Amino acid sequence: MPISAESAETLALNVLAWLAGNEELLPVFLGSTGASAQDLRDRAVEPEFLGSILEFLMLDDSWVVEFCDANSVPYDLPGQARAVLSGAADMHWT
């Protein structure tokens, strides 16, 4: 069963909270996205921003495993949530 948009947003917010508590990874996220701590607060309601958080997490399998293990989440769920939040923009025809 596909994940709902609401569940995808909730998962992304959980990833954001996990990132915010990760002293090593948060600066990497902020540096790679150009986001500020204020942006994290202001944009946490935007599906596009939440999708970018999931995209960042998925850059490294070890980050996915670490997040999923810490939150008892199946390893494939962040990818499913990202697909829901990105909608058709993530469609590949090749």
DSSP 8-state symbol, 36: -
The amino acid at 42: D
**Does 91 reside within a domain?**
no
**Does 28 reside within a domain?**
yes
* Angstrom distance (rounded) from CA 29 to CA 6: 23
| Residue with the two structure tokens 């701590």 | 37
The pLDDT tens digits along the chain (94 residues) read 679 999 999 999 999 999 999 999 999 999 988 989 899 889 999 999 999 999 999 999 999 999 999 999 999 999 999 999 987 554 444 4
**Does 92 reside within a domain?**
no
Task: List C-alpha distances in Å: 55 to 1, 23, 82.
Answer: 22, 19, 7
Count of domains for the chain: 1
For 61, the domain range is 5-85
pLDDT, position 93: 46
Task: Report yes or no: 73 and 67 within 8 Å, Cβ to Cβ.
Answer: yes
**Does 11 reside within a domain?**
yes
Name the pTM for this structure: 0.87
